[in-house]
């Protein structure tokens, strides 16, 4: 622990944290949730939560890590033995997310291969995606390819190399997304979709909207699962923590916003305003974008470039997920790094199989009306993460006390938003999370609806 490596400066820290934060959550998950949960109202709720909850929790987690110099389990344990279990629950979350995240990563890899090999036309077909994910073996092969690449990087410890490449790729991804979004707006019918995306319609508002937005926020910013605690433990004391959080937040939210702007208007354009098309769920990106590319001159090259960039974004996030899991087991099992990596790889593959088969062979299995993949996604994002977030707030608000976090921030610079931070962590967040969690669980169970 004495020789814990650290990020060289603020830029290094911000980029590394953003590499974990920006991924499929922004490009694949945010647009389909926004489409499903009422467009503008979801966007509005998300933005409000990002600058209040998201900000406060990210500050808290990074500060916990920097203060203790430890990852989640160790950090909670060091500050108060009774709260070690919060770190333990947090540590379970990446284990649930990584397999299904990689199933989607496999779909992205497949689409890259399709676009590179001249299959752009076929991919624009309505049933192309659903036919593909319904196959038993092929999606599993691409899933294996995706975790295979992730595991090789983690095993060889060449994350630095990947990070360098992604520093180059990320700006290109932003430009390309912006270009596709603007192009998409000119497709007849798209404007209506754009308005749906940016105009809040309060009749679409429900507790589930808030829960979905909150779950998405945690997921997208890699919060409530210990990852930011670990990143904080690598952060130097002289780096301005508050402004780093602002930068990560702007970056992460900006990319999610652009991705929504790229996908939702096109859904309207290609479905003729048919609202059912908005509820397509996890497949939305894979069904809509190929149609946009098909309608563009040079679309197959742009499509190939796009999926390559998304693959990089997904890989940097997957690497941070796998790193976390490997380090948990490394501490517990003492197997050595290579062996632990192989074990995690095998375990992840096995755990991912049901999610992958859930759209075909196991298609008739559904839990509360959700496919297997959606079910894992729901349990981690809408149940476990709010619980971890709640416990973190209680711990900081009433056991450790917010002042300890404020002091940690003020080692480097005055904490400008400390009042906001204290009020949110102590009162607003805990009450709100409990209310939302209860009402939406009742909602899913069909018992009660607000």
* Min CB(275)–ligand PHE separation in Å: 26
In angstroms, what is the minimal distance from the CB of 364 to ligand PHE?
Answer: 29
**Binder of ligand PHE out of 13, 16, 23, 308 (CB under 6 A):** 23
Comparison of 325 and 424: residue with beta carbon closer to ligand PHE: 325
- Contacting ligand PHE (CB under 6 A), which of 14, 15, 18, 21? 21
Q: Tell me which residues in 94-113 interact with ligand PHE (CB under 6 A).
A: 94, 97
Say how far apart CA 424 and CA 420 lie, in whole Å.
6
Q: How far is the CB of 401 from ligand PHE (least distance, A)?
A: 28
For residue 61, which of 36, 108, 35, 93 has the smallest C-alpha distance? 93
> Which residue, 215 or 402, has its beta carbon nearer to ligand PHE?
215
> Least Å distance between CB 147 and ligand PHE?
14
Q: What angle do the packed helices 299-333 and 337-357 form, to 10 degrees?
A: 130
Residue pointed to by tokens 């389909």: 32
Nearest distance from C-beta of residue 27 to ligand PHE, angstroms: 8
Query: Of residues 16, 20, 287, 315, which one binds ligand PHE by CB under 6 A?
Result: 20
User: Closest residue to ligand PHE, Cβ-based?
Assistant: 25
Q: Report d(CA 119, CA 433) in Å as an integer.
A: 45
337-357 vs 138-156: helix axis angle to the nearest 10? 160
Beta carbon nearer to ligand PHE, 38 or 226: 226
Return d(Cα 114, Cα 134) in angstroms, integer: 17
Q: Does 54 bind ligand PHE (CB under 6 A)?
A: no
Q: Total residues at the site for ligand PHE (CB under 6 A)?
A: 16
Binding to ligand PHE in span 309-348, by CB under 6 A: 317, 320-321
Q: Which residues contact 49 (CB under 8 A, 6 or more apart)?
A: 210, 213, 214, 217
Tell the burial category of 167 from Cβ atoms under 10 Å away from its Cβ (0-12, 13-18, 19+).
middle
Tokens 């859904």, residue? 267
Are 442 and 392 in contact by the 8 Å Cβ rule? The answer is no
Residue from 14, 24, 44, 60 in contact with ligand PHE (CB under 6 A): 24
Of 123 and 217, which has the nearer Cβ to ligand PHE? 217
CB of 316 to ligand PHE, least distance (A): 9
Residues numbered 218-277 forming contacts with ligand PHE, rule: CB under 6 A: 219-220, 222, 225, 227
- Pick between residue 76 and residue 101 the one whose CB is nearest to ligand PHE: 101
Lookup: tokens for 106? 């496999």
Binding pattern to ligand PHE, positions 202-221, x when CB under 6 A? -----------------xx-
Q: What is the Cα–Cα distance from 18 to 247, expressed in whole angstroms?
A: 9
DSSP character at residue 273:
T
Where b means 16+ CB within 10 Å and e means fewer, 428-443 reads ebbebbeebbebbbeb
Nearer Cβ to ligand PHE (269/389): 389
Candidate ranges 19-27, 296-304, 354-362, 437-445; the one touching ligand PHE (CB under 6 A): 19-27
Nearer of residues 216 and 288 to ligand PHE, judged by Cβ? 216
In the complex, minimum distance from the CB of residue 20 to ligand PHE, in angstroms, rounded to a whole number: 5
Return d(Cα 291, Cα 269) in angstroms, integer: 10
Q: How far is the CB of 97 from ligand PHE (least distance, A)?
A: 6
User: Which CB sits closer to ligand PHE, 230 or 422?
Assistant: 230
Nearer to ligand PHE, 219 or 329 (CB): 219
Q: In angstroms, give the least distance from the CB of 21 to ligand PHE.
A: 5
| φ/ψ (deg, to 5) at 438 | -65, -50
**Eight-class DSSP state of 370:** B
30 or 183: whose CB is closer to ligand PHE?
A: 30
CA distance 66 to 75: 9
Instruction: Give the C-alpha separation, 290 to 412, whole Å.
Output: 47
CA distance 228 to 218: 11
| Chain residues in the site for ligand PHE (CB under 6 A) | 20-21, 23-26, 94, 97, 219-220, 222, 225, 227, 317, 320-321
């Amino acid at each position: 622990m004495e020789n814990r490596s650290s990020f060289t400066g603020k830029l290094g820290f911000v980029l590394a944290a953003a590499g974990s934060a920006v991924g499929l959550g922004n490009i694949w998950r945010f647009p389909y949730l926004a489409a499903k949960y009422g467009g503008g109202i979801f966007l509005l709720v998300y933005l409000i939560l990002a600058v209040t909850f998201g900000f406060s929790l990210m500050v808290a987690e990074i500060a916990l890590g920097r203060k203790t110099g430890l990852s989640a389990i160790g950090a909670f344990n060091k500050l108060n033995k009774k709260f070690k279990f919060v770190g333990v629950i947090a540590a379970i979350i990446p284990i649930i997310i990584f397999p299904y995240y990689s199933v989607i990563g496999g779909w992205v890899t497949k689409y890259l291969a399709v676009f590179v090999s001249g299959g752009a036309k076929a991919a624009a077909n309505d049933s192309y995606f659903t036919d593909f994910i319904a196959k038993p073996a092929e999606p599993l092969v691409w899933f294996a390819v995706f975790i295979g690449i992730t595991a090789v990087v983690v095993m060889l410890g060449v994350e630095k190399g990947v990070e360098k490449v992604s520093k180059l790729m990320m700006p290109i991804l932003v430009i390309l997304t912006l270009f596709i979004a603007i192009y998409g707006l000119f497709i007849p019918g798209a404007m209506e979709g754009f308005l749906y995306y940016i105009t809040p319609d309060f009749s679409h508002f429900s507790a589930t909207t808030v829960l979905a937005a909150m779950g998405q926020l945690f997921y997208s910013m890699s919060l409530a699962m210990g990852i930011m605690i670990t990143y904080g433990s690598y952060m130097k004391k002289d780096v301005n923590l508050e402004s780093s959080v602002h930068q990560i937040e702007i970056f992460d939210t900006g990319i999610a916003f652009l991705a929504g702007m790229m996908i939702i208007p096109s859904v309207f354009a290609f479905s003729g305003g048919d609202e059912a098309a908005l509820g397509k769920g996890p497949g939305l990106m894979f069904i809509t974008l190929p149609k946009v590319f098909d309608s563009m001159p040079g679309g197959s090259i742009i499509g190939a470039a796009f999926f390559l960039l998304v693959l990089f974004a997904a890989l940097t996030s997957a690497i941070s997920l796998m790193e976390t899991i490997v380090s948990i087991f490394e501490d517990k099992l003492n197997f050595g790094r290579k062996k632990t990596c192989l074990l995690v790889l095998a375990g992840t593959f096995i755990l991912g199989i049901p999610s992958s088969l859930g759209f075909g062979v196991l298609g008739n299995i559904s839990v509360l009306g959700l496919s297997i993949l959606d079910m894992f996604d729901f349990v981690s994002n809408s149940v476990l993460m709010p619980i971890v977030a709640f416990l973190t707030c209680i711990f900081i608000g009433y056991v450790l006390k917010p002042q300890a976090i404020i002091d940690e921030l003020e080692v480097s610079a005055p904490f400008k938003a400390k009042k906001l931070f204290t009020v949110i962590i102590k009162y607003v967040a805990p009450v709100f999370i409990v209310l939302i969690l209860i009402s939406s669980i009742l909602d899913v169970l069909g018992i009660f609806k607000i």
